[in-house]
Amino acid sequence: MATTARRPLADDIARALKAEIREGVYPPGARLPTEADLCRRFGVSRATVRSAVKELDVLGLVRTQHGVGTFVRSRPAVHDGLERMGSITESIRASGKEPGHEYARRTLRQVLPDEAERMEVPPDTEVLELRRRITADGEVVAYSYDLLPRGLLPEDFDPDELAGSMFAYFENRLGVRATLGLARVHAVESAHIAWGANASKHRLFILLDQLHYDTGHRLLAYSRTYFVEGAYEFQLIRTAP
């Protein structure tokens, strides 16, 4: 008795396309074949193809632009571990990239009520506000909005002294080291975070809302760092109790 060959399911199609992406058949930035082409290739319905492509999207391998096509995502420029307390600059270097910082603001001002509550400081606390773009080989990987208590800084402090890594400034200029971070992590979609060239391309972010402390539990900074989706990959190591 003759048997009919089983049509591939969405999982089979996703597995085949995933292998081709990893083998370089479809390099980063390349467009996948159209739904119609994939339907003909695998002998399945559009619904099955869409389900397969959705699986690739969930895995972070592709992105779909409606009316344009489905494209292979670029590999993250930087890899880091969420459990590790360290400088973004050093994470970029460890990924084989050259770090860069572009400062848009270095301003002394009084904290806002919500900032004072998050930092657990008096409402009249003066802070240094920093706004900067962090790059890896010239590619923007994060936008950071930082607040440093004014009392932490030297009396003769010149805001222009801060031109690179904030952690490096702590260690080299202030002689302190951030050893503890209390962070909240959020996914954010906004057209009002990014600034500068290509800002319109950056709307999806992973927000690390973090308080930095030294060994004596003194507050060094409050940072809201928005990592550009797809440009910065975090790894989180979890263990059983």
pLDDT above 70 (res 76): no
Q: Please, how many CA atoms are within 13 Å of residue 54, restricted to the half-sphere of its CB?
A: 7
Domain termination residue (choose one: 18, 44, 72) = 72
Across the chain, what does the average pLDDT equal?
86
Rounded Cα distance between 231 and 196, Å, is: 17
| Domain identity same for 151 and 185 | yes
Q: What is the end-to-end Cα distance of the chain in Å, rounded?
A: 55
Q: What is the CATH number of the domain that holds 39?
A: 1.10.10.10
| Domain identity same for 82 and 181 | yes
Rounded Cα distance between 181 and 235, Å, is: 17
Rounded Cα distance between 7 and 38, Å, is: 13
DSSP-H helix ranges across 80-236 = 88-94, 113-119, 166-169
Q: What is the CATH number of the domain that holds 143?
A: 3.40.1410.10
Contact in structure between 47 and 10 (CB atoms under 8 Å): no
Rounded Cα distance between 101 and 58, Å, is: 31
| Domain identity same for 209 and 164 | yes
Residue appearing with tokens 């409050």:
222
Digit-coded pLDDT (tens) for 80-134? 555 666 778 888 888 888 999 999 999 999 999 999 999 999 999 999 999 999 9
* DSSP at 230: T
Chain CA centroid to CA 47, Å: 32
User: What's residue 128's pLDDT?
Assistant: 94
Rounded Cα distance between 168 and 153, Å, is: 14
* Other beta carbons less than 10 A from residue 115's beta carbon: 17
| Domain identity same for 65 and 95 | no
pLDDT above 90 (res 55): no
| Domain identity same for 19 and 125 | no
| Domain identity same for 122 and 44 | no
Residues contacting 130, CB < 8 A, separation 6+:
103, 105, 106, 144, 145, 146, 147, 148, 162, 166
From 35-44, 193-202, 206-215, 219-228, the region with the lowest mean pLDDT = 193-202
User: What's residue 1's pLDDT?
Assistant: 46
Domain termination residue (choose one: 44, 72, 100) = 72
| Domain identity same for 62 and 87 | no
Model confidence at 6, in pLDDT bands (50, 70, 90)? low
| Domain identity same for 193 and 226 | yes
2 found inside a domain: no
Structural domain of residue 24, as residue ranges?
A: 10-72
From 45-49, 76-80, 167-171, the region with the lowest mean pLDDT = 76-80
Longest alpha-carbon distance in the chain: 91
From 6-20, 107-121, 211-225, the region with the lowest mean pLDDT = 6-20
66 found inside a domain: yes
Helices 46-58/35-42 angle, 10° precision: 110
Model confidence at 78, in pLDDT bands (50, 70, 90)? low
Model confidence at 165, in pLDDT bands (50, 70, 90)? confident
Q: Domain count for the chain, please give it.
A: 2
| Domain identity same for 172 and 231 | yes
140 found inside a domain: yes
pLDDT above 90 (res 9): no
From 5-19, 94-108, 115-129, 220-234, the region with the lowest mean pLDDT = 5-19
124 found inside a domain: yes
Domain termination residue (choose one: 72, 92, 119) = 72
